[in-house]
Copies of this chain bind each other. A is one copy, B any other.
Amino acid sequence: MAASLNVKFGRAVRSFRSAAGYSQEAFADEIKVHRTYMGTLERGKANPTLDMIARIAAGLEISLATLFEAVETGRTDAG
């Protein structure tokens, strides 16, 4: 079965976050979300809002288009 969008989103975030040199905890602190939320999100168990998605992209210093291209292709330039 193909991975759900939420799973693909979590994988892309994890990939960019890791490539940026952040631990999950450090990144959560950086964008001021709860540490457990980042874990939940990276495992594809969250359904983030637009505002939250934007906060994540800003923390990763990538555009939303870049983030979603990675979500949809499964590839990150960084990874």
Contact = CB atoms under 8 A, between A and B. Distances in A.
A18 to B, nearest CB: 20
Contact of A9 (B9, B50, B67, B68): B50
Nearest to A9: B50
Interface size class of A (residues with CB under 8 A): 10 to 19
B54 A64 contact: no
A71 interface: yes
Interface of A: 5-6, 9, 47-51, 53-54, 63-65, 67-69, 71-72
8 contacts: A5-B50, A5-B54, A6-B50, A47-B49, A47-B50, A49-B50, A50-B53, A65-B72
